[in-house]
Structure 1
Amino acid sequence: MFARMVVLLCALIAAGDASAQTAANPAPTKVMIVGTFHLDNPGRDVFNVQVDDVLTDKRQKELAAVAASLAKFAPTEVMVEWPQAQTDEQYASFRAGKLPPSRNEVVQLGFRLAKLRELERVHGIDVQGEFPFDPVKAYASSHGMAPRLDAALAGAGHEVQNLSERVREGSIGSVLRYMNSPERALKNHGFYVDMLRYGDGDTQPGARLVGAWYARNLAICARLLQSLPAGGRAVVFYGEGHAYLLRQCIVEAPGVELVEANDYLPK
């Protein structure tokens, strides 16, 4: 009898130690950044990927496959490139089956995944910011740097054409996989770093442009982290131009782990 009591006491102590260890080492908080392109051809950017109608059966099956693959990550939060008020209103309509058909990537990717995971809310974490590009162009024109800037813009335009061809020839999932490699995020970010060359002395239009871009992305990441509960698992859908800085913010955030989208996106 005494021996059994000793064994039971030891088991209780061990269970208490395990509970204390679990409390001291909670499940890690994880974030996946999914760089996207506009699915509805809004024409808001300097160069725009051309996309056929994503409401066709073929594209809807591809988008469903993307959502099903990302759902394997078991996200507890979904975050998108919209303001919160707009996100709340439209996601409520989407869940109720009252939202008119939309080709927007927020609906087709973010809302679809959130509904699949039966989430009650989608976090809209977008922040608007200035993008003072005209002073950069003026400086380039007046300091013999116009050819360099033209070449940089031509390179960006060529890559958008490449994405348009990939969309025509492949699935949306395969295009997202191509877009979401760490190497591509770094390469895309090189455009902004190169803008630092445009300026001299107290005239720094390039630095002002890059500073404004960094400020916007830091404000976005602030909302991301503020919406992320301890131990949560978030999928964040954002235009791929933001991917590098959002990834960097997550990598440097204490207690948060970056998860690669390509570990889950369909091939």
Structure 2
Amino acid sequence: MKLYLVLFAVILLFSNNVNAQKENIQKEALLVGVFHFNNPGADLAKTETFDVMSKKSQQELELITDHIKKFRPTKIFVEWEYDNQPALDTLYNRYLKGTYFSYVQDKFPGNTFYAQNEIFQLVFRAGKKAGLEKIYAIDYPMDWPYDSLQIAIQKAGQTGLQQEIDKQIKEFGEQTNALMKKLTLTQLLLEENKTSTRNFNLGFYITLLNKGGALHDFTGADVVNAWYKRNLYMYSLIQKLSEEKNERIMIIAGSGHVAVFKQFIAIDRNYKAVELSDILKN
């Protein structure tokens, strides 16, 4: 009994020390999960493209990035392939010089990605206002064996599971499209970063995909593993590139990625999470 009490006291002391360290951390990470402003249609849920080029959306982007400037980010990380950093540097340097949009219009005629994507509309704008000379790429694309999962589900006779997966994907797309019709850009971004939205996103992987396949077939777990592995690689890049003390980093990526990053930060003793809703209140 005495040994049990001693162990409990040690665990409690360690937990309190960790929590105290967490509270004293000066390195802050502003998390901004986004929907893709220029929708490539690559996600499972098919959603419409929101008009970020409208006058109202442009005004909101100016206001949002004004608030980000007050946060004073020292580094900004984005969902761009990490081994293609030189291309991102070229584009951002053009943006800083004021020649970006004419440059991409001539170089990529008819390609709306370079005009509308969140990296160029939100991140570049925020980076320039914050006086940053560089934006950091952290994406690490990997094969995601979702097609193999569907085959495994079919072989296992998991008809009900497949129906529920299809149903949730469809409903998510319909709900997102409905919100895009009635909410402003700022409201949509706040919605993307709600705890309930993040938990629903993460729950889809664990509740449904993870159990796909027959008893000794772990294709479902492999799919979930591939998703977490990609995000672990991305987070590893963030950690390696933000080593200075008292740094205020900003991470802008698809809301699914940011939902996972929030989990990582909750147990990473080097960071304290800051939400978009926090800085918009100031």
Same fold (TM over 0.5): yes
Is the 1:37–1:49 Cα contact (8 Å) retained in structure 2? Answer: no
Match in the other structure for 1:17: none
Q: Deviations over 1:144-198 (max 9, x none)?
A: 2133223223222322222222222221111111110122211210111121211
Q: Deviations over 1:31-73 (max 9, x none)?
A: 0211101111222223233134322222111211221222232
Q: Distance in 1 between matches of 2:54 and 2:232?
A: 37
**Structure 2 residue 191 is the aligned partner of structure 1 residue 209:** no
The AA in structure 2 aligned to 1:148 is L
**CA apart distance, 1:262:** 1.8
Match in the other structure for 2:172: 159
Is the 2:45–2:172 Cα contact (8 Å) retained in structure 1? Answer: no
Helix, strand or coil for the counterpart of 1:237?
A: strand
Match in the other structure for 2:89: 88
Q: Distance in 2 between matches of 1:150 and 1:223?
A: 37
**Structure 2 residue 37 is the aligned partner of structure 1 residue 39:** yes
Is the 1:91–1:111 Cα contact (8 Å) retained in structure 2? Answer: yes
Q: Distance in 2 between matches of 1:148 and 1:198?
A: 8
1:145-156 aligned at under 5 Å gives the runs: 145-156=158-169
Match in the other structure for 1:18: none
Match in the other structure for 1:3: none
Cα 1:89–1:150, aligned 2, differ >3 Å: closer, same or farther?
Answer: farther
How many pairs were matched up?
243
**CA apart distance, 1:87:** 1.9
The AA in structure 2 aligned to 1:91 is Y
**Structure 2 residue 105 is the aligned partner of structure 1 residue 130:** no
Structure 2 segments unaligned to the other structure (5+ residues): 1-22, 102-113
Q: Distance in 2 between matches of 1:92 and 1:27?
A: 32
**Structure 2 residue 279 is the aligned partner of structure 1 residue 264:** yes
Q: Deviations over 1:200-230 (max 9, x none)?
A: 4442100111111111000000011112132
1:101-120 aligned at under 5 Å gives the runs: 102-120=115-133
Cα 1:215–1:146, aligned 2, differ >3 Å: closer, same or farther?
Answer: same
Structure with a larger share of its residues in helix: 2
Match of 1:226 among 234, 240, 246: 240
The AA in structure 2 aligned to 1:85 is P
**CA apart distance, 1:26:** 8.6
Match in the other structure for 2:267: 252
**Structure 2 residue 183 is the aligned partner of structure 1 residue 170:** yes
Is the 2:44–2:169 Cα contact (8 Å) retained in structure 1? Answer: no
Match of 1:182 among 190, 195, 200: 195
Helix, strand or coil for the counterpart of 2:153?
A: helix
Q: Distance in 1 between matches of 2:168 and 2:183?
A: 22
Q: Distance in 2 between matches of 1:70 and 1:153?
A: 37
Give % identity: 27
TM-score, length-scaled by structure 1: 0.84
**CA apart distance, 1:266:** 6.8
TM-score, length-scaled by structure 2: 0.80
Cα 1:49–1:201, aligned 2, differ >3 Å: closer, same or farther?
Answer: closer
Is the 2:30–2:276 Cα contact (8 Å) retained in structure 1? Answer: yes
User: In terms of Rg, which structure is larger?
Assistant: 1
Match in the other structure for 1:98: 99
The AA in structure 2 aligned to 1:263 is D
Q: Distance in 2 between matches of 1:178 and 1:208?
A: 29
Q: Distance in 1 between matches of 2:44 and 2:87?
A: 25
The AA in structure 2 aligned to 1:213 is W
Helix, strand or coil for the counterpart of 2:249?
A: strand
Helix, strand or coil for the counterpart of 1:81?
A: strand
